[in-house]
Each structure stands twice: as structure tokens, then as C-alpha cells.
Chain A
Amino acid sequence: MIEIAGMACIAIGLLFDLLGCIGLVRMPDIYNRLQAATKCVTFGTCSIMFGTFLMVGFSSTGVKALLCIVFVALTAPVSAHALSRAAHKSGIKLWDKSVIDKYREDYPNE
């Protein structure tokens, strides 16, 4: 029973990984790519880790899988934040059909 639950977790994670990478190819500019890819791939990898934990149980490997979930969920949004700020400061424009850019209005010369 618990093996089937683990396999279901791994399958859901793989589905979201694939959707995130499709979003990385399809979206028009770097900020939208970061949105789609970071959310879907982080959730997918955490779900694969949780499936591994369910299959292995409370052994040394399972506890390492739980720790790895915490690491990935804490570090992936921080790196996305750093990348988007660096891209905006290095002068990459938003997509042409974007609605508003308050950050460019407040810091016009960076």
C-alpha cells in the first residue's frame, strides 16, 4: 500500500517537472520563465523526494530525503529572487505586452 503511495508521489512529481520545463521553453521573457520553472520544478523535486522517503522508510536515507526537501524548498526561491533582481538591474526589459513596471519607475537609472 505504502509503495503505491510512493509511486503516486513520484509520478506527480515527474508530471510537474515536465510541465515546468515546457514552461521554461514556452514563456516569452525571463521573468515568466523563472515563475513557471521555479514553482513547478521545486514542487516536483520535493514530491519525488517525499515519494523516496515513503518507499525507503525511516532509515538513514529517508531522513536525508526529508532534509533535502527542506534544503531545496529554502534555496530555490532565494536563487530565483537573486536571478530576477540581477536580470532587472542588468537592463533586461519586460515583455512588450506587459502591463506595468513599477520597479523601473522607482529606479529609472539602474
Chain B
Amino acid sequence: MVKEIERTGIPVVHICTVVPISLTVGANRIVPAIAIPHPLGNPNLDGNEEKALRRKLVERALKALSTEVDEQTVFEN
């Protein structure tokens, strides 16, 4: 799906836990997530901390979308 979206010329960032799959499939901007059942959360944190964690990941995704890349790039931070 990432590729079909990008094929139309719209930049896309893939937030996912299993980065190697995303690389194999061909996503060009990748943000590693927390865990498979809760990619953008952590049930062990309290509500506010968890939302702050999610915000950090979404901001990283926006940063990835604002960054020109010339090859598949994993945005670790």
C-alpha cells in the first residue's frame, strides 16, 4: 500500500515495528514503532506519558515527510 500511495507522487511515511519487512516491501521513509500490537503506544506508561510517546513518534513521522531522501531511510530519531 505504501508503494501504491507513493506511486501517485504523494510522500508517505511508514510507521511500523518490523522495519526489515518495510524495507523489503519498499517503503522509502520509515519510522520504527514500539510494538506490533501497539505501534504508537505503550500500555505500561500512564496516560500522559503514553500520549507524549505517541506524539514523539508522530512528530518524527512529520520530520521524515519533511526530509528529502534519495534512498530508503529509517528515521531512528
User: Is B a genuine binding partner of A?
Assistant: no
Residues of A within 8 A of B (CB): none
Residues of B within 8 A of A (CB): none
